[in-house]
Amino acid sequence: MFNRLKEINSRPEPFQFYTANALWTDEHTSQMMLEYHLDESVDLSSRNKEFIERSVKWIVSHFGIDRQTAIADFGCGPGLYTTPFAEREADVTGIDFSERSIRYARETAARKALDIDYVCQDYLEFETEKRFDLITMIMCDFCALSPNQRKKILTRFHSLLNADGAVLLDVYSLNAFDQKEEVSTYEHRQLDGFWSKEDYYGFLNTFKYEEEKVILDKYTIIEKARTWTVYNWLQYFSPDALRKEFEVNGFKIEEFYSDVAGKPFNSKSTEFAIVARKLDK
């Protein structure tokens, strides 16, 4: 028991383990994630309905989206952004490796008679001959990627964009990082049964990596038949750090905002968004 508890409370190296599939492809947790996505009143898996409507309006206006605009939404989920983009007659592609979310998005597109190309795939591996004017990655998905994964995705963005194409994404700021604290908790049916339909106990260890500006929420789920662990990594950024990361991968950041609805940048915000333009390498 001592050794098991020691293992549960052990601190891994930053981004040592990657378990995103446990959230998005597991039969039970993918259903729970979809329900959170579709709850219009909360900002958990996705933004609330009012914010999405406001951000879509700003994105359409800022980028001049019309039937000539090709958009790829990386991590599209159940189509909360791809659907309204397509309703503005844009040529839309959505990529997500949650089969359940993609199925819901396709059903929505069919019901609304929208021609949206949905791809059920890990977006780190997504390839196509198609080229895009705008790539979006919303809800701080970029923060969940390791440095190597971020370099890979930015290289992919660069190759998939038309000349002068743009990227819009949001990230967590260092203000949010400073507000985080290391904690350890133990709870029966942690998160109200989120992790399993079976009975279970859940440990949560939150680790803070000061030098790397990374937070890990490490969930250890103990069921009668198995014990498994989910590692939820988040990278936090300063504007300068994000700018450098984009510049070395062939982009120029045009503007910083406080969110993807175009709110003016505030240095005290816990999140911020960027518009970056592709440069010729």
219-247, pLDDT tens digit by residue? Answer: 999 999 999 999 999 999 999 999 999 99
What is the DSSP annotation of 214-262?
EEEEEEEEEESS-EEEEEEEEEEE-HHHHHHHHHTTTEEEEEEESSTT-
Residue 210 in tokens: 């000061």
What is the span of the domain harbouring residue 182? 2-8+176-234
Kindly report the CATH number assigned to the domain that includes residue 114: 3.40.50.150
Please enumerate in sequence order all residues whose Cβ is within 8 A of that of 212, keeping only pairs 6 or more positions apart, or say none: 14, 235
Residue 19 lies in a domain: no
Residue 14 lies in a domain: no
Distance, in Å, from the CA atom of 256 to the CA atom of 97, rounded to the nearest integer, reads: 29
* Structural contact between residues 213 and 224, judged by C-beta atoms closer than 8 angstroms: no
Residue 173, beta-bridge partner list: 237
Residue 20 lies in a domain: no
Tell me: do 105 and 163 sit in the same domain: yes
pLDDT digit string, tens, across residues 38-86: 765 554 445 688 999 999 999 999 999 999 999 999 999 999 999 999 9
Tell me: do 76 and 105 sit in the same domain: yes
Tell me: do 185 and 164 sit in the same domain: no
Tell me: do 274 and 135 sit in the same domain: yes
Tell me: do 74 and 180 sit in the same domain: no
Measure the N-to-C terminal CA separation of the chain; round to a whole number of Å: 55
Tell me: do 160 and 212 sit in the same domain: no
Tell me: do 185 and 147 sit in the same domain: no
Tell me: do 241 and 229 sit in the same domain: no
Tell me: do 48 and 138 sit in the same domain: yes
Instruction: Please give the tally of structural domains in the chain.
Output: 2
Which pTM value belongs to this model? Answer: 0.93
27-38 vs 99-111: helix crossing angle, rounded to 10: 40
User: What's the confidence (pLDDT) of residue 44?
Assistant: 47
Tell me: do 100 and 191 sit in the same domain: no
Tell me: do 203 and 255 sit in the same domain: no
Residue 27 in tokens: 């039969």
Name residues of the chain where pLDDT drops below 50: 43-45
Residue 18 lies in a domain: no
Distance, in Å, from the CA atom of 16 to the CA atom of 244, rounded to the nearest integer, reads: 23
Tell me: do 257 and 219 sit in the same domain: no
**Amino acid code (one letter) for 169:** L
Residue 227, beta-bridge partner list: 222
Residue 87 lies in a domain: yes
